[in-house]
Structure 1
Amino acid sequence: MDSILDKPVFTFLLTIMIIFMQISESKNASKNAAERCFCKLKGEVDDCSCKVETLDSLNNNHIYPRLQSLLTKNYFRYFKVNLHKECPYWSDDSRCALKDCHVSQCAEDDIPVGLKSGDPKENKYSRENQEITTCAEERELSALDTTISDETKETFKDWRKHDDAQVTFCELDDDNSSGIAYVDLLLNPERYTGYRGASAHRIWHSIYEENCFQPDSKYSYGDNPLANLCLEERVFYRLISGLHTSINIHLSAKYLYPGKNGYGAGTWGPNKKEFQKRFDSKTTDGTGPQRLKNLYFTYLVELRALAKVAPYLEMEDFYTGSDEDDDVKSIVMDILQVIKSFPDHFDESKMFQDPTQASRLKAEFKNHFRNISKIMDCVGCDKCRLWGKLQTQGMGTALKILFSGDSIGPESTVGANQKSQFQLRRTEIVSLFNAFGRLSDSIYSIEQFRSMMS
């Protein structure tokens, strides 16, 4: 009788034991995957003296929460972009048909009044005089462009010559092109769209194989694969790798889970398996952990650009005609103060110092990046194209800042009164902050994935 009663008890205990063993194995597997993904996220960032741990603290505790507030404001949420430019390198035969690839453009009435008449920085309208109340009135005012004097037209030509003379690393969309339109970035967030396969692979293949300085394949990834590259080439490669990493993190952090039984609206959330597939050394031939570390390098470069351009930005109004304009100015000043107080910035003055190579490297650096910015017009998914253009434009703006002005180096700045007459268009300012916001979001997401996997 006792043995009969013991059977269900034994079965129950055996089941509990198996469950605990499975949980333990799952935890160990997750722990091992975390170790394989994050093994390089410690110590100094390559070619910099700043440590990964320092940037984690700076970003997650100070910069990320401030940027989350700033980038919801009108000045930064409305981005003017042309998503209809033809690919200059191949015929686009693989447009994404998925609904999540679609980008919703802004209706006329949604655009802040201060942005409707063009770039507030270029137009220099005062708040008192900008009292446009209807779209009809705005069109009527716009018609006055036909009465511009010959003298003013000559001034415009001088402005264009000045713009062309500045150091630029990417081509900006023409504000007068037929396909230009405002997009609300908050209504079109960067996340997983399902855009993958041959078309997406061709984009990154073209970027890395044709427009990026390549590490020596004879080295294993743990044996300094960039050893055959000079500093400038290493900087370029790490910048692009860090951007690519950031985009992959966004796709993993905002992954679409289908509705129940494949029906109904899906839900968006972090996908641990997708992250592991992209960054686990086991699934990436050992390259994933270094890709994650390159993200911190890209973050440092754009952080330095914001520190250098701070005096210029501190003189901006960030005007949209909205009640929140003063609040935007205050948040920007707060962020810049945090960035300027950071003691361990990237030092761009170490680049292009070899007199025998500097001219060639500068030209290659600039031309490679301009080509990459053009490749973004070949992306088949509209939403991916939007964020690809914005982030490459933001990085190009950062490079323009770093290598403009009267001097370069840790103590150098770019102000509105520089001898170089340095200027930024509104679209450059918007892309600079949003691109940096994407990097900030990626570093914050790494901490979330680390917690999920440990």
Structure 2
Amino acid sequence: MPRSLDFLCVTREREGLTGFPEEVVDSFLEAFKVTGSLDDCTCDVETIDAFNNYKLFPRLNELLESEYFKYYKVNLKKPCPFWTDNSHCGIRDCAVKPCESDEVPDGIRSASHKYSEEAHNLAGECEEAQRLGAVNRSLSEEAQKAMLQWTQHDDSSDSFCEADDIQSPDAEYVDLLLNPERYTGYKGPDAWKIWNSIYEENCFKPQTVKRPLASGRDDEGHAFYKWLKGVCVEKRAFYKLISGLHSSINIHLSARYLLQDTWAEKKWGHNVTEFQQRFDEILTRGEGPRRLKNLYFIYLIELRALSKVLPYFERPGFQLFTGNQVRDAETKALLLQVLRLTKSFPLHFDENSLFAGNAREAAKLKEEFRFHFRNISRIMDCVGCFKCRLWGKLQTQGLGTALKILFSEKLIEKMSESSPSQAFQLTRQEIVALMNAFGRISTSVRELENFKTLLRTVP
């Protein structure tokens, strides 16, 4: 067995897995190959890998570590709206550590309006409160204009998600850097029920068509993919987005797996066996490479949305408020660098291929699309593991925000640079979710390269 993979097998030994013989590594690398062009796109895997891993990923990571983007307000206590289930995961790694109320500055806690709260918040939160000092409440004229934009916005018909009420007493701020997405041990029937509800009830699939690996027969998904090929491009795109999100989450769990848990320390790292079980072509009967191609599809969708929303953030009156004017200006400058970099990508997804044709039928289909996605965002409140629920809610809201942007292109184009936008708005929650959700997808693409490197390493 290659010695460099010993540490990756430590948690698998008790399950009877002794290692990775060289021939297994070779066969997996061959089966793992995901190359070439993507269906329903003009792009290819190699172009995305080069752009993401060496240009975009480093700058995006730097942005997401900033004060503005690391705090997310979320209600993890909302009841499941679809079935009665009050059970919650008892595994300690499922817990989320929110910010204590007395650690949040008075200016945030006492805000009377949800959008003015958003405009003042977050740099002084939690453990950063003493270091950053008091929030500066003397806002400039430009800042007041940006606040007005938020006050004029409410949950409207353009939303693809069931958003949390951040004024709810159950809504709490969470530091995303202190609560990273990783393997928690949440699995089995409860986790299966979540994804089964998403795929079976919200992906436009008839009950008679069985999903691959769920059909009970070894047909390698031929019937399912025959059906998928025959549906309209919008319904096909919807399935690929959900599959891509699912794949991304599975990559995160494999890349930040609990390898060692003792009284002295916990060790998190890459678990190649876990990754192989989810994506190897042979073990998944051909599903693994398809799942990974769907990851690249969702990457293109969210990348396109970021490139489209650039004018919204370029306006002089738009500010990212934390209370520290110098840092806020630096964060906005870095955000604009990231968004301009997304715009430079050479092979963007063409969203004009969606909801084209007959206007009445396209509008009806778009509402179905929105309805199913809102349902999926609500299903996240049924996840028993709180850490999984946190990241599930954030990533669905981020993807929903990306869809909102793509279908608001004309409204964005009509925005004035000097006055508040009446037609198109993003709340701070949407902005934080949008960037962090894409950060998760970008990380997944980068982790694919890490897994390939680990498999090739033989000292």
TM-score after normalising by structure 2: 0.80
- Answering whether residue 172 of structure 2 is matched by residue 177 of structure 1, we say no
Range with greater deviation from structure 2 (443-452 or 224-233): 224-233
Partner of 1:327: 330
The structural deviation recorded for 1:435 is 0.1
Partner of 2:10: none
Range with greater deviation from structure 2 (26-35 or 296-305): 26-35
**Match for 2:55 among 39, 58, 62?**
62
Contact 1:406 1:419 in 2 (8 A): no
- Answering whether residue 178 of structure 2 is matched by residue 187 of structure 1, we say yes
Partner of 1:383: 387
Partner of 1:8: none
Cα 1:447/1:177, change in 2 over 3 Å: same
1:368-387 CA distance string (max 9 Å, x none): 00000000000000000000
**Match for 2:91 among 92, 98, 102?**
98
Partner of 2:15: none
Instruction: For structure 1, list consecutive stretches of 5 or more residues without a partner in the other structure.
Output: 1-22, 142-155
Partner of 2:423: 421
The structural deviation recorded for 1:31 is 1.5
**Match for 2:24 among 18, 21, 29?**
29
The structural deviation recorded for 1:339 is 0.9
| Alignment-mate amino acid for residue 293 of structure 1 | K
- Answering whether residue 363 of structure 2 is matched by residue 370 of structure 1, we say no
CA distance in 1, matches of 2:30, 2:222: 15
| Alignment-mate amino acid for residue 273 of structure 2 | K
CA distance in 2, matches of 1:294, 1:402: 19
1:349-396 CA distance string (max 9 Å, x none): 111113163133112100100000000000000000000000000000
Partner of 1:256: 258
Contact 1:401 1:414 in 2 (8 A): no
1:170-210 CA distance string (max 9 Å, x none): 01111211211100001000000000011100000000001
The structural deviation recorded for 1:42 is 1.2
The structural deviation recorded for 1:324 is 2.3
Q: Percent identity?
A: 50
CA distance in 2, matches of 1:311, 1:122: 23
Which structure 2 residues correspond to residues 180-329 of structure 1 after superposition, within 5 A? 180-214=171-205, 217=210, 220-221=220-221, 224-225=225-226, 226-259=228-261, 263-315=263-315, 316-322=318-324, 323-329=326-332
The structural deviation recorded for 1:301 is 0.3
- Answering whether residue 197 of structure 2 is matched by residue 168 of structure 1, we say no
- Answering whether residue 360 of structure 2 is matched by residue 359 of structure 1, we say no
SS at match of 2:178: coil
SS at match of 1:267: strand
| Alignment-mate amino acid for residue 320 of structure 1 | T
1:91-136 CA distance string (max 9 Å, x none): 2243100110000001245547875565896469689xx9xx99xx
Cα 1:87/1:324, change in 2 over 3 Å: same
Cα 1:336/1:93, change in 2 over 3 Å: same
The structural deviation recorded for 1:453 is 1.9
Contact 2:181 2:391 in 1 (8 A): yes
Range with greater deviation from structure 2 (357-366 or 437-446): 357-366
The structural deviation recorded for 1:346 is 1.1
| Alignment size in residue pairs | 402
Contact 2:320 2:328 in 1 (8 A): yes
Range with greater deviation from structure 2 (266-275 or 320-329): 320-329
Range with greater deviation from structure 2 (89-98 or 189-198): 89-98
| Alignment-mate amino acid for residue 357 of structure 1 | E
Contact 2:120 2:323 in 1 (8 A): no
**Match for 2:76 among 76, 83, 91?**
83
SS at match of 1:227: helix
- Answering whether residue 39 of structure 2 is matched by residue 46 of structure 1, we say yes
Instruction: For structure 2, list consecutive stretches of 5 or more residues without a partner in the other structure.
Output: 1-17, 138-147, 212-218
Contact 1:314 1:333 in 2 (8 A): yes
Contact 1:302 1:436 in 2 (8 A): yes
Cα 1:25/1:311, change in 2 over 3 Å: closer
The structural deviation recorded for 1:220 is 4.5
CA distance in 2, matches of 1:418, 1:425: 13
CA distance in 1, matches of 2:184, 2:390: 13
Cα 1:243/1:124, change in 2 over 3 Å: closer
Q: RMSD of aligned C-alpha atoms?
A: 3.2
CA distance in 1, matches of 2:275, 2:433: 26
| Alignment-mate amino acid for residue 340 of structure 1 | K
CA distance in 2, matches of 1:193, 1:186: 16
The structural deviation recorded for 1:400 is 0.7
SS at match of 2:281: coil
Q: Which of the two has higher C-alpha Rg?
A: 1
The structural deviation recorded for 1:288 is 1.0
Contact 1:239 1:294 in 2 (8 A): yes
Partner of 1:340: 343
The structural deviation recorded for 1:335 is 0.6
Contact 2:108 2:117 in 1 (8 A): no
1:127-183 CA distance string (max 9 Å, x none): 9xx9xx99xxx9xx9xxxxxxxxxxxxxx9x967x6344411001111211211100
| Alignment-mate amino acid for residue 389 of structure 1 | K
Contact 1:311 1:415 in 2 (8 A): no
Cα 1:114/1:403, change in 2 over 3 Å: farther
Range with greater deviation from structure 2 (237-246 or 206-215): 206-215
Contact 2:306 2:342 in 1 (8 A): yes
TM-score after normalising by structure 1: 0.81
1:31-75 CA distance string (max 9 Å, x none): 11122123xx21112211011100101100111101111111110
SS at match of 2:21: helix
CA distance in 1, matches of 2:433, 2:51: 21
| Alignment-mate amino acid for residue 374 of structure 2 | R
| Alignment-mate amino acid for residue 33 of structure 1 | F
- Answering whether residue 444 of structure 2 is matched by residue 451 of structure 1, we say no
Range with greater deviation from structure 2 (281-290 or 190-199): 281-290
| Alignment-mate amino acid for residue 244 of structure 2 | G
CA distance in 1, matches of 2:408, 2:312: 12
CA distance in 1, matches of 2:442, 2:323: 28
